Chain A
């Protein structure tokens, strides 16, 4: 038998670091890996240079003459004919920029759309400022109720002396954002209720929630849009002709609610029964139990999937062009049919792709940040 001294703590051995080691470990660790690395490099060699040539080096950037502090820059703006076909003609996007962003929204009123954009940006600032402050929940809740209402009346007008802008004039990125945000924000609470409904002990509620979710999920969005757009009006023969955009919004909301419901249900199932029992044992009622204990945890787990589902919806909004709504994607064909800019769809599609990517990638990054912020595991 023996007694041993307690040992001192030591630093871990310093392993090789640096770029060469990184390359060897990640790119050239085995024969297969070397092969794949070389193949990937070759692919990049084929794709990247022509892409850069098309979008930047050979592309036309003649946006016309302009002056900064009295110094004149540029030359006469390029036209479709002197732009050439072998590379991008960005003056087309430059000239049609307003169409892509606002559609047919009256040009003298676009300041209203712009202020909504500005308010959205401010929203993020507010969320950041009041976070962890006393009474932040109240401020945020009010903001999230007031903000959509104010935004809607700013864009639609018809009150406080604001000139009314009919929905058929809405278009471009504005319309895309309206559809996506209404679709996501309105369907979210409905989705939560459906998820709770499906889990409910009350058979009738659980039955109807399940039927609804499974029915909607079995039907493509485009079918639901068609139904809402063309079949629904047949039921309202008495001259009831409600707004085309509203019909699309209802269809998308009902569709998205079913998907959110399944995502939230996944989160609910991950909550151990002990949490329900502890909440019950304390004496919380059903609403308190779900609002204070179950949903905060379930939604936290669901953030990646909720955002994933929202991203899908954002992309799916482009389907509304099929029922004649002029979203950003629809603007590509619209603008490339302009007699002065015939055949410039490619530039349009690239522009729409980049815009979409900026929004969707931001959403994805933001979700990652939320996950980190709400994490209560082993920090400090």
Chain B
């Protein structure tokens, strides 16, 4: 599945290795992602999925290997890290909204302070995005006054507010009540239609089947199998993936 044409690759990860102390969290990861591609990463907990996508915006430091995002190679250089982060947005498992700021202020923070937009244009854009995720009327409230699903939709709007080229989703629905999962997934499906590059770590196999162009299965810090959804679910090759699918799909 990997493309040889490097020009269209927006993310190139090669020979990525990461350790937490003695423990090796990522083993020799190689992954190229094309612009506009929608990738779902799944696997059992502790398999390194989150660590992998957190290396893309340098929330995690890695010891070996290369990560190139939109032509910029990740190093310790604070300037480079910031310029990558202004193109890569992230949605977290626990939303991580800023509880001391109103919803609309949560959204406008990045545009105003990182992208030097004026307050009024940032606010206008923020309200449009809130409209899109269906919570325009909650703009002046504070995060703790919203339900989990609403908070995660705000978090997605916040991530979109800086007009990123790449969106990273780190288990966006696993902290939500079952009733609220679909409202968040609906927003993500809408996004997927718009051609933004997305990497989603998720256990929502229905979502993966619906929107993913490629699904990556990880276990114990390495990529075990990657395939298009059809092959991934119906003709898994490795035994590890067969076992995993067996476990999650039988119930």
Answer yes or no: are A and B bound together in one complex.
yes
Are B98 and A278 in contact (CB-based, < 8 A)?
Answer: yes
Binds B, one of A31-39, A147-155, A283-291: A283-291
| Cross-interface CB contact of A277 among B96, B100, B110, B144, cutoff 8 Å | B96
Task: Please name 13 pairs of A and B residues whose Cβ atoms are closer than 8 Å in the assembled complex, sorted by A.
Answer: A277-B96, A280-B57, A281-B88, A281-B90, A281-B92, A282-B89, A282-B109, A282-B162, A283-B162, A284-B110, A292-B113, A296-B100, A376-B144
Closest to B84 in A: A283
Beta-carbon nearest neighbor of A291 in chain B: B113
Whether B110 and A274, one on each chain, are in contact in the complex, defined by CB atoms closer than 8 angstroms, is no
- Would you list the 5 A-B pairs with minimal beta carbon distance, nearest first? A278-B96, A283-B85, A274-B96, A376-B142, A281-B90
CA gap between A158 and B26 in the complex, in Å:
69
User: Is the beta-carbon distance between A277 and B59 smaller than 8 angstroms?
Assistant: yes
A271→B94 CA distance, assembly (Å) = 14
In the assembled complex, the Cα of A292 lies from the Cα of B89 at a distance in Å of 19
Contact across chains for A285 and B144 when beta carbons are under 8 A apart:
no
Q: How far is the CA of A378 from the CA of B57 in the complex (A)?
A: 33
Known: A274-B94, A378-B144, A380-B145. A283 touches B99 (CB 8 A): no
Cα–Cα distance between A272 and B141 once the two chains are bound (Å) = 21
SS of A interface (majority): helix
Does the CB pair B98–A293 fall under 8 Å? yes
Which residues does chain B contribute within 8 Å of A379, judged by CB atoms? 142, 145
Question: Are B59 and A283 interface neighbours, CB within 8 A?
Answer: no
New contact pairs (20) apart from A282-B109, A282-B114, A379-B142, CB-CB < 8 Å: A272-B94, A275-B98, A277-B90, A278-B90, A281-B57, A281-B59, A282-B89, A282-B110, A283-B85, A283-B86, A283-B162, A284-B109, A284-B110, A288-B113, A292-B109, A297-B98, A376-B100, A377-B142, A378-B144, A379-B145
CB pair A282–B85 under 8 Å, yes or no, is yes
Chain A residue nearest in CB terms to B168: A281
In angstroms, Cα B109 to Cα A274, docked, is 16
Asked if residues A280 and B85 are in contact (CB atoms below 8 Å), the reply is yes
Interface residues of B in 90-118 (CB under 8 A from A): 90, 92, 94, 96-100, 109-110, 113-114
- Shortest A183–chain B CB gap in Å is 28
Q: Of residues 350 to 380 in A, which have CB atoms within 8 Å of B's CB atoms?
A: 374, 376-380
In whole angstroms, what is the CA distance A300 to B158 when docked?
A: 24
Contact (Cβ within 8 A) A274 B92: yes
Question: Which residues on A sit within 8 Å (CB–CB) of B59?
Answer: 277, 280-281
Q: Mark B72-91, 1 if CB is under 8 A from A, else 0.
A: 00000010001001101110
Contact of B92 among A277, A283, A285 (CB under 8 A): A277
Q: Which of A285, A293, A374 contacts B82 (CB 8 A)?
A: A285
With contact pairs A378-B145, A380-B141 given, residues A283 and B96 touching in the complex (Cβ less than 8 Å): no
A377 near B100 with CB under 8 A, answer no
How far does the Cβ of A342 sit from chain B's closest Cβ, in whole Å? 58
A272 contact set on B, CB distance < 8 A: 94, 96
Residues of B within 8 A of A (CB): 57, 59, 78, 82, 85-86, 88-90, 92, 94, 96-100, 109-110, 113-114, 141-145, 158, 162
Bound Cα distance from A374 to B158, whole angstroms? 23
Cα distance, A380 to B141, chains bound together (Å): 9
For A279, list chain B residues within 8 Å (CB). Answer: 98
Q: A277-B92, A278-B92, A285-B78 are in contact. Are A376 and B99 (CB under 8 A)?
A: yes
When distances are taken between beta carbons in the complex, the residues of chain A under 8 Å from B100 are 296-297, 300, 374, 376
Contact of A283 among B82, B142, B143, B145 (CB under 8 A): B82
CA distance A296 to B109 in the complex (A): 14
Task: State the CA gap A376–B102 with chains docked (Å).
Answer: 9
- Give CA–CA (A374, B141) in the complex, Å: 14
Alpha-carbon gap, A284 to B101, bound state (A): 16
B161 to chain A, nearest CB (A): 9
A297 to chain B, nearest CB (A): 5
Contacts of B110 in A (CB 8 A): 282-284
Tell me whether B96 and A275 are in contact (CB under 8 A). Answer: yes
Across-interface contacts of A285 in B (CB, < 8 A) = 78, 82
| Bound CA span A300–B72, Å | 39
Residues of B within 8 A of A378 (CB): 144-145
Q: How far is the CB of B193 from chain A (nearest CB, A)?
A: 24
Q: Least Cβ distance of A280 to chain B in Å?
A: 6
The residues of A that contact B97 with a CB separation of less than 8 Å are: 278
Determine how close the nearest CB of chain A comes to the CB of B91; give it in whole angstroms.
9
A189 to B143: give the CA distance in the assembly, Å: 29
CA distance A297 to B142 in the complex (A): 14
| Closest residue of A by beta carbon distance from B83 | A283
B57 to chain A, nearest CB (A): 6
B96 surroundings in chain A (CB, below 8 A): 272, 274-275, 277-278
Residues of B within 8 A of A274 (CB): 92, 94, 96
Closest A residue to B91 by beta carbon equals: A281
CB closest residue in chain B, given A296:
B100
Residues of A with C-beta under 8 A to B142 = 376-377, 379
- When distances are taken between beta carbons in the complex, the residues of chain A under 8 Å from B113 are 284, 288, 292
CB contacts (< 8 Å) of B144 on chain A: these are: 376-378
Are A284 and B114 touching (Cβ within 8 A)?
yes
Q: Taking the nearest CB of chain A, how far is it from the CB of B99, in angstroms?
A: 6
Q: Nearest Cβ in chain B — how far from A170, in angstroms?
A: 40
> A283 CA to B144 CA in the complex, in Å?
24
